[in-house]
Amino acid sequence: MIILIISLVALLIIILIAFSLLQQKRRKVESEKRTEVSRLTISIDETESILTQINSLPITKGLMMILHNRILETYKSIQVVNRDASLSNNINDRQTLIDSIAKTFKSQGLDTFQLPNDDRHVLQMVQILKKLKSIVNAEHKRGRIKPEVFNNEIKRIDLMQIRININSIVKRARAAFEAKQAGSARTYLDKAIKTLKAINSEGDSFVSSKLAEAQEMLAQLDQVKIDRDAQKSQDQAHKSSTDLDILFQPKKKW
């Protein structure tokens, strides 16, 4: 009888331990699911936020498809993690939107890219482009983007970043030029001209206009230096002539 009681107690303890371990495992699984769903939800929110901020950028159909497909696939992942159909409407609505984009969306050329003048807006645009590049790279690694689409979108983002940088450099050069800081202005202009000449964008009106602006400013700097050197030589010649006149002028008799 005692052995039976001991056996029952031992069995009960084993059952309690097994139940406790099972509960811990369930809690761990639920915690991991919540963490994963939270991460996926953040991904959707970030992508939706990007979509609301790209109105000032020349967007292609390819990039729009990348962003909306990212949201669609993330919704599907959340549905798999949660094992329910609560997101079916979201998935269907997003798929309908993607189908519409594929049929009607018109890509915008880089020539429509308007650079902001306000430094705060410039910074915001730089941050948006960085996020876009990160998203495109991440989606490419997941195998969701065709190589030609990936290469095209990365190139366009790079070109927009270069335009922002060039515009900023030329603005700094002009500010230095107007402040008569010739050394700084020349450094900025040399950098801008070198970068612009290296861009393979023949026929690009932005590149042509910025290159012309930078070269014109550089020519003005060169002319200022020529004029200053000429004036310096003239002043030196005048001083030498004056010194000679003083040296050979008739001595006064006292």
pLDDT in tens, 67-88: 999 999 999 999 988 877 788 9
For the ranges 10-14, 33-37, 85-89, 134-138, the lowest mean pLDDT is seen at 10-14
Give dist(CA 190, CA 214) in Å, integer.
8
Helices (H) and strands (E) in the chain, counts: 7, 0
Which parts of 41-130 are beta strand (E)? none
Global pTM value: 0.76
Nearest to 210 by CA among 155, 149, 169: 169
pLDDT tens per residue, range 218-229? 888 888 777 676
How confident is the model at residue 141, as a pLDDT?
Answer: 94
Distance CA 195, CA 145 (A): 30
Exposed / middle / buried, residue 24 (Cβ in 10 Å: 0-12, 13-18, 19+): exposed
- The first and second tokens of residue 216, run together, are 């014109």
For residue 83, the 8-state DSSP code is: T
Averaged pLDDT of the chain:
84
Q: Is the predicted pLDDT of residue 246 greater than 70, yes or no?
A: no
